């Protein structure tokens, strides 16, 4: 492979890992906002590269503006689920 093509490919790949829009963390159960990052961020720094393709599909989504939405579990819902694990059997345990 030509060295310049390799360099260009690596740069394109790195650009796909850099995100300049908002990253919003939202609880998958109660839908409360857990956190937000409003600066340029590298997905590797966020740890997204450790996720399997199935986990990425379940946890991360992108909207029309290019913003990233990450589905997590807030502390309140985590506490409720630990105290009442049967709630996990319900489709919408806190709705």
DSSP line for 16-77? HHEE-S-EEEEETTT--EEEEE-S-EEHHHHTGGGS-HHHHHHHEEE-TTS-EEEEE--HHH
Please give the pLDDT value at position 65: 84
Q: Give the residues across from 35 on adjacent strands.
A: 25
The rounded average pLDDT for each run of 10 residues, N- to C-terminus, in the chain (95 residues) is 60 53 91 91 84 93 89 94 86 73
pTM above 0.85, yes or no: no
Condensed to tens digits (0 to 9), the pLDDT of residues 40-54 reads 777 788 888 899 999
What residue spans define the domains of the chain? 17-89
Please give the pLDDT value at position 37: 92
């Amino acid at each position: 492979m030509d060295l310049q093509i390799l360099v260009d490919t690596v740069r394109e790949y790195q650009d796909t890992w850099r995100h300049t829009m908002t990253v919003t963390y939202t609880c998958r159960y109660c839908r409360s906002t857990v956190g937000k990052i409003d600066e340029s961020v590298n997905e590797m720094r966020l740890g997204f590269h450790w996720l399997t393709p199935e986990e990425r599909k379940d946890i991360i989504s992108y909207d029309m503006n290019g913003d990233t939405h990450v589905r997590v579990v807030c502390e309140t819902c985590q506490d409720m689920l630990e105290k009442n694990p049967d709630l996990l059997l319900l489709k919408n345990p806190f709705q």
